[in-house]
Amino acid sequence: MKPVKKALGLLSLSLIIFSASCTKKDASTSTQAANVMVGEELIFGEFGSMTGSESTFGVSTHKGIMMAVDEVNAKGGVKGKKIKVVSYDDQGKSDEAVTVVTKLLTQDKVHVLLGEVASSRSIAVAPIAQQYKVAMISPSSTNPKVTQLGDYIFRVCFIDPFQGSVMAKFALNNLSLKKAAIFRDVKADYSMGLANYFAQEFKKMGGEIVVDVSYSSGDVDFKPQLTQIRDKKPDVLFVPGYYTEVGLISKQARELNFKGVLLGGDGWDSEKLTEIGGDSIVGGYFSNHYSADDQNPAVQNFVKGYQAKYKEVPSGLAAMGYDAAAVAIDAANRATEMSTKGIRDALATTKNYPGVTGVITINDERNAVKPAVVLKVTGPQKFSYIATVNP
Amino acid sequence: MQNIINGVAQGSVYALVALGYTMVYGVLQFINFAHSDIFMIGAFVGIYAAKWTNGYFPPIVQVMVVTLCAMAFCVALALTIERIAYRPLRTAPRLNVLITAIGISLLLENGGQVIFGADPRQFPSLLSTTSLLNSDELVLNNIQLTVILVSALLMVILHWVVHHTKLGTAMRAVSFDIEIASLMGIPTNQVIVFTFAIGASLAGCASVLYGLSYPKIEPLLGVMIGLKAFVAAVFGGIGNIMGAAIGGIILGLAESFAVYYISSSFRDAIAFGLLILILLFRPAGLLGTFRREKV
């Protein structure tokens, strides 16, 4: 018994020392939160889901960011300083995102944070960016909460209320369908946000929501809920989820003889959507940030450059990644002082920046005000441009 | 009605995996936690086998070849694990074997992430889905029917093996008392090897059936399926073959109805709620009796 007691004593002692050293560290980090001047290089810290079930989001965004940075570096950088990008994979997990962002801020000492695609993970890390007073630009987190977490948190995309209401308007005005069902992912803030705003707008404009059910991301069997939806006979099914589940959902819905039109948000935007969903998803519509078919010269130049570099058509997420980096670069160029605070202040005054995904103005809530497009799934990995909806 | 079809199809997969748990438990009185990860590996083998055999066979033959590949690989893997990890511990306290099983399970899960990557893979759709029963109210497609029929067939075969063959008699004898069985001249190690082989081949087959119906395969796939199958095995009375089969189907049905009438968030709660209820009121499980017939 004695050695055990001794060991326990040692353990508790080491715990005390450990916790003491931890508090010490905390104290020193709070002083670090001061304004950091940019040294020889301007460092962008990127974190995203390079692997996991949303891997194409992280990878596409990364390609977009690298393209914007490479273009500027080739022209000599920002005010003579080259930009360096440090990227980490968060595997699509919130806890992992917290770890890598802390690493970016404490070890790599980045000047601007770029990420995340998913709202849940942006929400998880935003308080850390705020604590260290480093500007964070989310390329495509559309949940309203994200930028409410602090005055250092920005985004270059529109927010859920807008996306949800775009699809509600589209279903009623363009498709003239009045009976809708909602199938939401209870585990994703993004999905809940879109679903709520869709329901609100749809009802306000005279439509009827016949059934509103949920699933949890990671599920593979959706038949019970889909049976319930089918039995209520809606004209449209709004599934504001991510592509892996949406693919499986559309497949199982068609297997159960569901005949309505599927609608969704930008979470559908991946070549894997049609890989998983096959023919079942063809004919569905979703809102997105941009379309490669858009004939606007800014878009066409970007598409050409991207295709030359990566030999593929850029997805919406790639375009958002490009714009996030481009807005950060633009802010660094305009900043009166090359420091973390200087860049943040310049970001807040971004106005009418001609991005690939539309003209971007950052408003008082640090959200981007810009149009949305609606795309239709027309075949394997083919999304065609249907309409642009302005704010 | 639709819920019954959905539930039975889902439950059949649970039942096949549950059989692997229950058989090993019957013989060795320990829970082989690595079993569900063997199932996961089987699904990945299925993906690769489907890629290699693509174009050589007509679809139905290809499904059979893929299933056989997955089963063969699962059996080989299970036997290796049995030989390396479990047999040296045959005389050790049961807790040691249990912990080893958890270790093997973690090894397979994380090893799977290293080898296959954390990215979910798409299981190729070997059979095109066609509806057999087709009305607005009720839909049954060929894949669901295949899953149900194949599972039923395998369970019938298993029942026959256990009750009407020499090997089955030996298995029952070993489960009754391992030491006396070996005194009676039964090669206990061989019987145990066979038990693992049968369990793993069922898991291999189940993994392909699973892949056909839910084409999203990832290295952590085994975790939830394993827990559910384990619940099914305990529900039916662990160690009891019929119990595992019935437990699996009841669990599938319960989940299906719970999600339809309550909410999807309760899917897992229902599964584990059942486990708690059964342990409270019938600790031996639904079909478990005081002197139960074990394998």
B141, B260, B265 ranked by CB distance to A228: nearest? B260
Asked if residue A229 lies in contact with residue A181, where contact means CB atoms within 8 angstroms, the answer is yes
CB atoms within 10 A of CB A283: 12
Q: What are phi and psi of B121, to 5 degrees?
A: -105, 155
Best residue of A219, A223, A251, A272 to probe chain B, by most B CBs closer than 10 Å: A223
Question: In this structure, is residue A381 part of a structural domain?
Answer: no
Q: With an 8 Å Cβ cutoff, are B122 and A223 in contact? A: no
Last residue of a domain, one of A236, A253, A288: A288
B111 vs B127: CA distance, rounded Å:
30
β-bridge pairing B131-134 and B121-122 = unpaired
- State the best of B139, B144, B212, B217 to mutate against chain A, taking most chain A CBs within 10 Å: B139
Q: Does residue A209 form part of some domain? A: yes
- Do residues A154 and A146 touch, judged by C-beta distance below 8 A? no
Q: Are A288 and A273 in contact (CB under 8 A)?
A: no
Under DSSP, is residue A182 helix (H, G, I), strand (E, B) or coil? strand
Q: Is B174 helix (H, G, I), strand (E, B) or coil?
A: helix
Interface test with B, best of A50, A250, A257 (most B CBs within 10 A): A257
Q: How far is CA B127 from each of CA B6, B62, B138, rounded to the nearest angstrom? A: 18, 9, 21
- Would you call A8 exposed, middle or buried from its count of C-beta atoms within 10 A (0-12, 13-18, 19+)? exposed
Tens of pLDDT along B265-282?
777 888 788 888 887 887
Angle A382-A386-A391 from CA coordinates, rounded to 5°? 125
Do A281 and A299 fall into the same domain?
no
Q: Is the pTM of this model over 0.80?
A: no
Closest chain A residue to the Cα of B210, Cα to Cα: A220
CATH of residue A61's domain is 3.40.50.2300
- Tens of each residue's pLDDT in chain A, 391 residues: 444 455 545 445 444 444 444 444 444 444 446 788 888 899 999 999 998 878 888 999 999 999 999 999 999 989 889 999 999 999 889 999 999 999 999 999 999 999 899 989 999 999 999 999 999 999 999 888 899 999 999 999 988 888 898 999 999 988 999 899 999 999 888 899 899 999 999 999 999 999 999 998 888 889 889 988 998 899 999 999 998 899 999 989 988 888 899 999 988 988 888 888 888 899 999 998 888 888 888 889 999 999 999 999 898 899 999 999 999 999 999 999 899 999 999 999 999 998 898 889 999 999 998 888 899 999 888 888 888 877 6
Which residues of B are less than 8 Å from A51 in CB distance?
117-119
Q: Is residue A13 part of a domain?
A: no
Strands (E), A51-178: 82-89, 112-114, 135-138, 153-155
pLDDT of res. A21: 45
Residue in A216, A230, A255 nearest the CB of B265: A216
Q: To 10 degrees, what angle do helices A316-334 and A55-74 make? A: 40
H helix runs in A90-237, sequence order: 94-106, 119-132, 160-169, 189-204, 223-232
The pLDDT profile of chain B, 295 residues, written as one tens digit per residue, is: 788 888 888 899 899 899 888 888 888 888 888 999 999 999 999 999 988 888 788 888 888 999 999 999 999 999 999 999 888 888 888 888 889 999 999 999 999 888 887 778 888 877 777 777 666 667 788 888 888 899 999 989 988 988 888 888 888 888 888 888 888 888 888 889 999 999 999 999 999 999 888 888 888 888 888 888 988 888 888 778 888 888 899 899 988 888 888 877 777 888 788 888 887 887 777 776 544 445 5
Q: Is the ipTM of this complex over 0.95?
A: no
- Same domain for A154 and A299? yes
Give the helix/strand (H/E) hosting A16: helix A2-32
Q: Which of B10, B215, B260 sits opposite A276 (nearest CB)?
A: B215
Asked if B119 and A248 come within 8 Å (Cβ–Cβ), the reply is no
Per-residue burial over B152-161, b = 16 or more CB atoms within 10 Å of its CB, e = otherwise: eebbeebeeb
Residue with the two structure tokens 């795309």: A375
Is residue A208 domain-resident?
A: yes
Whether residue A233 sits in one domain with residue A165: yes
- Alpha carbons B206 and B211: distance in angstroms, whole number: 8
Q: Which of A288, A318, A335 is the last residue of a domain?
A: A288
User: Closest approach of chain B CAs to the CA of A298, in angstroms?
Assistant: 33
pLDDT score, position B288:
64
Same domain, A50 and A152: yes
CA distance B132 to chain A (A): 11
User: What residue numbers bound the domain in which A261 lies?
Assistant: 161-288
Fill in the DSSP letter of residue A180. Answer: E
Give me the residue spans of the domains in chain B.
11-123+136-222
Whether residue A305 lies inside any domain: the answer is yes
Neighbours of A4 (CB within 10 A): 8
Residues of A with CB under 8 A from a CB of B: 51-53, 55, 91, 186, 213-216, 219-221, 223-225, 227-228, 230, 244, 248, 251, 255-257, 272, 275-276, 278
Q: Structure tokens of A252? A: 């199982």
CA distance B134 to chain A (A): 8
* B136, B216, B264: residue with CB nearest A214: B264
**pLDDT computed for residue A302 by the predictor:** 93
pLDDT value at residue A33: 65
Structure tokens at A330: 């633009």
- Closest residue to A52, CB basis, from B2, B118, B129: B118
CB atoms within 10 A of CB B181: 19
pLDDT of the residue at A15: 47
Q: Which pLDDT score is estimated for A30?
A: 44
Q: What is the CA radius of gyration of chain B?
A: 19
Cβ–Cβ of B129/A255 closer than 8 Å? yes
Phi, psi for B237 (deg, rounded to 5): 105, 100
- Where does residue A368 fall: left (phi above 0), alpha (psi -120 to 50 degrees), or beta otherwise? beta
Q: How many domains is chain A partitioned into structurally?
A: 2
Q: Is position A240 within any domain?
A: yes
Residues in chain A with CB shorter than 8 Å from the CB of B218 are 53
Are B218 and A227 inside 8 Å of each other by CB? no
Residue type, A74: A
* Helix and strand numbers, DSSP H then E, in chain A: 12, 15
Nearest residue on chain A to B130, judged by CA atoms?
A255
- Residue from B2, B47, B146 to probe the interface with A (highest A Cβ count within 10 Å): B2
- Inter-chain touch B264–A91, beta carbons under 8 Å: no
